[in-house]
Structure 1
């Protein structure tokens, strides 16, 4: 299956790319190991497959790499675009581009930087549709989700789409950092009930954080403590007969260590969270590091599949869904405590 997956990827690259697939050169390897360069990797890869006259150029990429240079690059781009923001286009999910991004950008990051690995593979079902429910932490760009999606795609050939905070689609900072339709084309589904339900109704394989934004907000001090689970994924699982695959991630808490949420400023700039940590000085000097995270080891422990439907068939509704969601949270918390005791 993996060989067939690679063959399909090669075909898709030949269809979409002007010549061949994106190949890392010396500058890309430099960007991988130099934190301000990760944003360059994302944009260079996009520009290889898409015509993007509003995107960053080489002069601006060079400015990314020096202290404070991002602000000059931002000014340069704003002037070049005629004193306006980049186009706010709406893109559609492109599985071929998701595969190319995974193979050509995520693969070296996951392998050499996050050292991602799946464990307890015997619990993986043969196919979807599925709701993959994972604990979420780190107070950073959602690398725990991107890494898991890539690993599942490699292991099973699945097309996996994450449920993502709306800020990743429409926040002005993200629109300047990344191509306007980047999140949609890579398969992101807005974390809104209508969008979530629509994706489930289509039988997709979805990555979901039952803690919601409360996961990253818990910060470093409560990094191993699961917050209250939302009930929507239990209700939708029951309504559409979609099983839930719980996954425990150990290591995501170190993506942005020692962080606490700066609540007042976070609300002012309308972000889901705004971490305050010793890394903030570096982020102020190099804003392109907003998509970067600390080197860690991301281990994913696949839990037994949870069949669709509420356990309490005599009592349907939100109360039963809430009870089942919290029971699952308690079960996963025990597993997290167990794994932490082993390491």
Structure 2
């Protein structure tokens, strides 16, 4: 199939924040048949205050008063590359002005677990931009570890095409899913030492948020405070002899500023967290803004590669201690970068 090319309407979608969702869906529909997806009339309604709700009603009626059918789609490195090159490039480089520093700390070859301080409270653009930069620099197949919310939640099933998160390499933040992904990467690296294997199988990297949901829910007031790290990524590193690459991000705190987590509203909407900020009224009028974020300057600073399996016993206390040591190191680096 021919590459996706920007029309005047697609360029308008880049400029108009509520239309980013249109761009995501149009790109998917260019490469994959999606008769149950959004259509042109519904796209037009996205652009008007409150129009998304009418578009939602129209699509629901068109689908026979049912939800979009969930589909089981495997990770698709080719689609990830197409989306990265054709859609993400202008957003990441021009809008978020993302840049990566200290590339000398990149490992010679994957697999590797990347530990990133994650701001949360909006679409995970700090993860997406880092995945773009790593893919651009190395050609690796980047797989972000994400909460099941990004695969199953009702809003995401309407917003994004079914299977989009899986095709982009998303890995559920569940033990079996993460171990399956990391073991595939470590096994393929071993095979590659003596045989020629599939190119994408050799180039896997997991993006991991060690703060877990504590980091997502900390809000604006604690934006520069790293929460307690979940040691699960240390246990994975030890079990599969996979190094950890810490990366400190500065600027992701401004993706959704002045935000706090409303536990009461989150419970009512059956969500793990629900960000509340002065932009909430705008979001109510334009729900398609769910994949948008404020303009920021995202700077990623790679830290020296860690190999915890060499000096840590695979016991609970030791993994907690190493996770806390790494959190403290990244916290110091984050505060130093903030004041530069």
Q: Would the TM-score normalized by the shorter structure come out above 0.5?
A: yes
Q: Determine helix, strand or coil for the equivalent of 1:249.
A: strand
What displacement does 1:310 show? 5.6
Distance 2:286 2:205 in 1: 35
Deviation at 1:272, TM superposition (A): 2.7
Alignment match, 1:241 = 241
Aligned pairs for 1:1-343 within 5 A: 17=1, 20-203=2-185, 204-309=204-309, 311-313=311-313, 316-342=314-340
1:236 deviation in Å? 0.8
Q: CA RMSD in A?
A: 1.0
TM-score of the aligned structures, taking structure 2 as reference length: 0.93
Secondary structure at 2:11 match in 1: helix
Deviation of 1:139 after TM superposition, in Å, equals 0.9
2:9 and 2:221 map into 1 onto residues whose CA distance is: 37
CA shift, 1:60, in A, is: 0.2
| TM-score computed with the length of structure 1 as normaliser | 0.92
Matches of 1:214 and 1:272, distance apart in 2:
11
1:86-135 deviation digits (Å, cap 9, x = unpaired): 11111110100000000011101001100010001111112200001100
Structure 1 Cα separation of the partners of residues 90 and 159 of structure 2: 21
**Runs of 5+ in structure 2 lacking a partner?**
186-203
Distance in 2, Cα, partners of 1:248 & 1:148: 11
Aligned-partner Cα distance in 2 for 1:138–1:79: 33
Distance 1:138 1:321 in 2: 25
- Distance in 2, matches of 1:250 and 1:235, equals 27
Tell whether the 8 Å contact from 1:234 to 1:310 is kept in structure 2 after alignment: no
> Hey, what's the Cα distance between the residues in 1 that align with 2:102 and 2:93?
19
Runs of 5+ unmatched residues, structure 1: 1-16
Q: Which runs of 4+ in 1 moved over 2 A?
A: 310-313
Describe the superposition over 1:184-207 as per-residue Cα deviations: whole angstroms up to 9, x where unpaired. 011000001111111111113100
**Cα distance, 1:157 vs. partner?**
1.2
SS at match of 2:222: coil
SS at match of 1:306: coil
The answer on whether the counterparts of 1:261 and 1:274 sit within 8 Å (CA) in structure 2 is yes
Quote the offset at 1:311 in angstroms: 2.7
How many residues align? The count is: 322
